[in-house]
Amino acid sequence: MYDQDNLFAKILRGEIPSTAVYDDEFAFAFNDINPQAPVHVLVIPRGAYIDMDDLTANGSDAEIAGFMRAVGHVARDVLGLADGGYRLLVNNGPDSNQEVPHLHIHIVGGRNLGPLMVK
């Protein structure tokens, strides 16, 4: 069950401030408050989806396509990361220790990120 009062729902409604980098019909992107690299942006769907499992099971084709296109657009055109490369990361559910129960894709880059760490 989606929690309408989760942190990112509040950010979408403008009840909690964020530093927006992109906004459209399907997605909203903002700087992570605790960046792990020179560039660390979170892209979230405008729809009420808990995680990737929820979006891919219950989202419309337009929502899924619009959201994924927004992720690419932000990385490429807004953040300028396409040439140097970047990492996308999605924590999904309890075993991943997902902290905020509204789907968010981390875009991380701006330096060599080393090997993927899975503790």
Q: Interface with ligand AMP by CB under 6 A: which residues?
A: 7, 16, 18, 32-34, 42, 91, 98-100
- Which residues carry out catalysis? 104
d(CA 60, CA 83) in angstroms, rounded, equals 31
**Ordered alpha helix ranges (H), the chain:** 7-12, 52-58, 61-73
Cβ-based nearer residue to ligand AMP, 83 or 116: 116
Residue with tokens 């219950």: 58
What's the closest the beta carbon of residue 28 comes to ligand AMP, in angstroms?
A: 11
Of 68 and 100, nearer to ligand AMP (C-beta) is: 100
Cβ proximity to ligand AMP: between 16 and 82 the closer is: 16
Contacts of 25 (CB under 8 A, 6+ apart): 46, 66
Least distance CB 44 / ligand AMP (angstroms):
10
Name the minimum Å distance from CB 73 to ligand AMP.
20
31 forms beta bridges with 41
DSSP state of 76: I
Q: What type of residue sits at position 4? A: Q
